[in-house]
Amino acid sequence: MKKYDVVVIGGSAAGIPAAITARRHYPEKSIVIIRKEEKVPIPCGIPYVFGTVMSNDKNLIPDSALSSNGIDLIVAEATSLDCAAKTIKLADGETVSYDKLILTTGSTPFVPPIPGADKPGVFSVKKDVVYLDSMLKYLDSVKNVVVVGGGFIGVEFADELRKRGLNVTIVEMLDYCLMLALEEGYCKEAEDKIKSLGVNILTNVKLMEILGNGKVTGVRLSNGVSIDADLVLLSVGVRPNITLAQQADIQTEKNGIVVDSHMRTNDESIFACGDCTAKKSFFTGRDSPLKLASIATMEARVAGANLFRIRREQTGVIGVFSTIIDNQVFGVAGLSEKEAQDFGYDVACGEIEQPNRHPGGMPGMVLLKVKLIFNKSNGELIGGSVRGGDSAGESINTISACIQKKMTADEIAMFQLGTHPAVTASPIAYQLVNAAELAIKAMS
C-alpha cells in the first residue's frame, strides 16, 4: 500500500491547482495526483485543436507542473473509496491511503436520448485525448457538420470547423446562440459575426433524430426539416462525475457533490472541487448550473489551502465567460439585465462604446463596448458585458473583480487608471468608468 498525506483524484483544471496549492501551503506534506488519463488536454483549448492548432499535442497540460512542485503522479483509475479506512482502490489492484483527500472527478458530456445518438460520426466534447484524436481522424472524410447547441463551446467549435473548409450548421433550441450567457443585443452581434464567416445558424428548433444507416448521414429537426451531416457534434451541457463519491456515501445531489464554503464534503477528511461539485450563486445563494474551468481553479485554490487548516472561503459563483469569433471578443460576468430583473433587482445600467486606443487613429484601434448593471438599492455592480478586441478579455475579468468585491458605481467611477495611447482607451473616455457614470445618472 502506498501512503500519502494528500491524495487528489483527477488531474485537470481542478486537480492540478488543488495539488499545487496544497504544496504551497503545506510544503512538508507528501502529495499525489491519481488520474486515469495518460495525457490531459487543456479544457478551454479543445475547440481550437480542430482549426487553429490542429493537434492535441499542442493543447496539453504539461506534467512538469507536477514534478516541479514535488507532486507525485499515478496514472490509474480510482475504482472505489473506503472513507473509514481512508483508502482508495485502483483498477490495477493497487491501494493508496490518505490523510486528506480532494475529489476532482470532473464532468461528462450529456448525450440526450435521441434516436441515432449512438451512430458512428456522433461526437461530444470529451476531455479525452484518444477520443479527440479519433474525432480529428474522422474529420478527414467529412464535408457537412451539424453542431447541436449554440453555447460557447458549440459556437467555438463551429468557428474552428469552418476554418477547415467544412459546411457547418449550428442547431440551437433557444432564440439565439449564447443566450444563456450574453445579453440579447450581444447575442445578435455574435450571431451576425459568425454568420458573416459562413456558418449556418438555425434557432428555435430541436434535434429530433440523427439519420443514417451504419453512420451519420443527416439530422431531422423539430420543424420537420432534415439537414445533411457527415458528423454531428453534441454540445448540450455536462453532468458531474459523482459515482465514486456516491459509492462511498459522500453526500451528493443532482448538480454534484455537496460541499460547504470551504469545499469540505460531509466527511471532514474529504474535500471536492471543480465540475463534480454542486454550486451556489454568488448573488442569490441558490443552486447554480455553472461548470467552468475558471470556477474549478478558484475552488481548487480554496480546497488545497484548507486541507489542514481553514484559510479560505468561497462565497458562490459569479459566472465569467469570454469567447472570440474570428477577431471579435465577447464577454460577460455576473447577471444580465433580464436575469437581475427576474431575481427581483431594481437595476440601473450604463452602456458605452468607444475606441480602445487614444487617439482613435492609433494602430490596432477597435471599438470596445461595455455595459454595466447595478443594483439601484445599494449601487453595487451585479453584472457586465463587453464586446471588442483582445483587450475585452481582461476587461471582463476586471468587471468580475468589481462584482466580487461588491464595488459601487461611484467607486468604479473613481478608478485610478493606468493608460497609454498604444494599449488602452483614453482616461477621458475609459469605458468602465464612463459606463458607471451613465448608470449613476440613471439612478438619480
Report pLDDT for 116: 98
Q: CB under 8 Å, gap of 24 or more: what pairs does 159-162 form?
A: 159/47, 159/51, 159/194, 159/197, 159/199, 159/325, 159/326, 160/47, 160/48, 160/50, 160/51, 160/52, 161/50, 161/51, 162/51, 162/197, 162/198, 162/199
Contact 166, 190 (CB under 8 A): no
Note down the domain range covering 299.
Answer: 2-107+239-306
39 DSSP assignment: S
Residue 389 three-state SS: coil
Q: How many domains does the chain have?
A: 3
Which residue, 306, 334, 362, sits at the end of a domain? 306
In CATH, what number is assigned to the domain containing residue 356?
3.30.390.30
Query: Which residues fall within 8 angstroms of residue 344, CB to CB, at 6 or more apart?
Result: none
Backbone φ and ψ for 217, nearest 5 degrees, come out as -125, -10
State whether 420 and 271 are in the same domain: no
Residue 116 shares a structural domain with residue 149: yes
The answer as to whether 28 is a domain residue is yes
Give per-residue burial for 286-295: e unless 16+ CB within 10 Å, then b. eebebbbbbb
- pLDDT the model gives residue 444: 85
Does residue 286 sit within a domain?
A: yes
DSSP letter string over 118-141?
TSTTEEE--S-HHHHHHHHHHGGG
How far is CA 257 from each of CA 36, 80, 138, 274, 319, rounded to the nearest angstrom? Answer: 20, 16, 35, 10, 19
In a domain, 315, yes or no: no
Q: Which of 204, 220, 236 is the last residue of a domain?
A: 236
Does residue 165 sit within a domain? yes
Q: Residue 26 is part of a domain; what is its CATH number?
A: 3.50.50.60
Q: Residue for cell digits 428548433?
A: 205
- C-beta contacts of 136-143 below 8 A and 24+ residues apart: 136/49, 136/50, 136/56, 138/231, 139/50, 139/164, 139/166, 139/231, 141/230, 142/166, 142/230, 142/231, 143/167, 143/230
**Cα four-point dihedral sign 184, 187, 189, 191:** negative
Q: 347 and 360: one domain?
A: yes
**Tell me, what amino acid is at 314?**
Q
125 falls within a domain: yes
Choosing from 306, 330, 364, the residue where a domain stops is 306
Report if residue 55 sits inside a domain: yes
311 belongs to a structural domain: no
Q: What is the pLDDT along the chain (444 residues), one digit of tens a residue?
A: 999 999 999 999 999 999 999 999 999 999 999 999 999 999 999 999 999 999 999 999 999 999 999 999 999 999 999 999 999 999 999 999 999 999 999 999 999 999 999 999 999 999 999 999 999 999 999 999 999 999 999 999 999 999 999 999 999 999 999 999 999 999 999 999 999 999 999 999 999 999 999 999 999 999 999 999 999 999 999 999 999 999 999 999 999 999 999 999 999 999 999 999 999 999 999 999 999 999 999 999 999 999 999 999 999 999 999 999 999 999 999 999 999 999 999 999 999 999 999 999 999 999 999 999 999 999 999 999 999 999 999 999 999 999 999 999 999 999 999 999 999 999 999 999 999 999 999 998
Q: Which of 337, 322, 32 is nearest to 184 (CA)?
A: 337
Q: Give the count of beta carbons closer than 10 Å to the beta carbon of residue 24.
A: 12
pLDDT at 192: 97
SS (H, E, C) 280-296: EECCCCCEECCCCHHHH
Q: Are residues 286 and 393 in the same domain?
A: no
Q: Are residues 271 and 232 in the same domain?
A: no
426 strand-pairing partners: none
Residue 28 CA: distances (Å) to CA of 10, 22, 24, 300: 22, 10, 9, 19
